[in-house]
């Protein structure tokens, strides 16, 4: 049986490195593209992929998605069955002050990959989208057919990526699956994201800055559940284009999240409240009926147990630092 070859962009990051774990364990050949963007220290990503670098079925390419020629050299030199496009310039708030870079990486980079997938006849293209594209107007829980009203450049670039995926599917018979991720967390989570950042600040006895009154609600989704959906999307063949929510389908407030971290860390948080920031939305809440139907998606990790798993990993990390 032919070994499948996967190209994973952003494969040294949080979600990407976990996905590569699964693909290699299943016997796949994996090529990873990652530019080690200085948004957070490269050492974090290098630690994520320490084991991968020793695997005979793994290749790493340090390439920027804006560099079409370098991407073509990689893709044209080897048969690739599936592209899983996770890489993006991340962060809602930074995108408000730096929209041009977000457009170039997230929109032009996605277009580069779609064009190469067309030219080199790659059968399946998975695009990591975001719950942020719904904006503040969608009725909860958010359905995939809800009107979109993105309110940050980051969210707008993800919406543009989905439209490009639809266009390439329609014109060029390229199967594209857009997965809207809802606030993913777990081991290896990026250090700038709320759960990781809050845990670190609580452990160090430093103040947490909360923008707004702490009543904003998020649909936090554990990494293992997200991977379940991504792996199912890789094998999905029933239609040529789909947009599918991947969330936990439950919400908690930021204040409740802090309380769960306090319980797991056995330490009280120091909370400082600040005015809301531009680009933030008050609520994310996934309707996952489509994912259940098309991907047999079934998230099994509620936030209460997921936080415990995250804190277990976080403590191990802190011990290694010491």
Are residues 308 and 261 in contact, defined by beta-carbon separation less than 8 angstroms?
no
Secondary structure (H, E, C), 227-239: HHHHHHHHHCCCC
- The C-alpha atoms of residue 295 and residue 118 are separated, in whole angstroms, by 25
- For the stretch 159-195, pLDDT in tens is 999 999 999 999 999 999 999 999 999 999 999 999 9
Write down all domains in the chain, each with its CATH number in brackets: 5-185+222-248+285-299 (3.40.50.720)
From first to last of the 322 residues of the chain, give the pLDDT tens digit.
468 999 999 999 999 999 999 999 999 999 999 999 888 889 999 999 999 999 999 999 999 999 999 999 999 999 999 999 999 998 888 999 999 999 999 999 999 999 999 999 999 999 999 999 999 978 999 999 999 999 999 999 999 999 999 999 999 999 999 999 999 999 999 999 999 999 999 999 999 999 999 999 999 999 999 999 999 999 999 999 999 999 999 999 999 999 999 999 999 999 999 998 888 888 999 999 999 999 999 999 999 999 999 999 999 988 876 6
pLDDT at 277: 86
Length of the chain in residues, anyone? 322
| Cα 298 from chain centre | 18
Which residues carry out catalysis?
154
- The C-alpha atoms of residue 309 and residue 85 are separated, in whole angstroms, by 27
Q: How far is CA 318 from CA 125, 144, 285, 322, in A?
A: 37, 39, 32, 6
């Amino acid at each position: 049986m032919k070994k499948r070859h996967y190209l994973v962009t952003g494969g040294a990051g949080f979600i990407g490195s976990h996905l590569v774990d699964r693909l290699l364990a299943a016997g796949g050949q994996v090529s990873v593209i990652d530019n080690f963007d200085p948004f957070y220290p490269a050492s974090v990503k290098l630690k994520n992929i320490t084991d991968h670098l020793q695997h005979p079925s793994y290749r790493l390419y340090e390439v920027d998605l804006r560099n079409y020629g370098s991407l073509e050299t990689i893709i044209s030199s080897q048969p690739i069955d599936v592209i899983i496009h996770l890489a993006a310039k991340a962060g809602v708030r930074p995108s408000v002050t730096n929209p041009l870079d977000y457009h170039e990486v997230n929109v032009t980079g996605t277009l580069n990959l779609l064009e190469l997938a067309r030219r080199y006849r790659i059968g399946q293209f998975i695009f990591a989208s975001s719950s942020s594209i719904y904006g503040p107007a969608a009725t909860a829980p958010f359905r995939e057919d809800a009107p979109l009203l993105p309110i940050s450049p980051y969210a707008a670039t993800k919406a543009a990526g989905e439209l490009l995926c639809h266009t390439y599917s329609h014109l060029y018979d390229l199967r594209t699956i857009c997965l809207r991720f809802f606030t993913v967390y777990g081991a290896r989570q990026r250090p700038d994201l709320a759960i990781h950042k809050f845990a670190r600040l609580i452990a160090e006895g430093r103040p947490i800055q909360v923008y707004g009154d702490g009543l904003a609600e998020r649909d936090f989704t554990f990494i293992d559940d997200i991977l379940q959906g991504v792996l199912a999307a890789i094998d999905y063949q029933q239609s040529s284009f789909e947009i599918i929510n991947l969330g936990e389908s439950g919400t908690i407030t930021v204040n409740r999240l802090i309380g769960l971290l306090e319980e797991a860390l056995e330490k009280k948080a120091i909370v400082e409240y600040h005015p809301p920031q531009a680009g933030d939305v008050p609520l994310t809440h996934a309707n996952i009926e489509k994912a259940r139907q098309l991907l047999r998606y079934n998230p099994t990790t509620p936030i209460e147990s997921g936080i415990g798993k995250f804190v277990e990993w976080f403590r191990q990390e802190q011990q290694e630092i010491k």
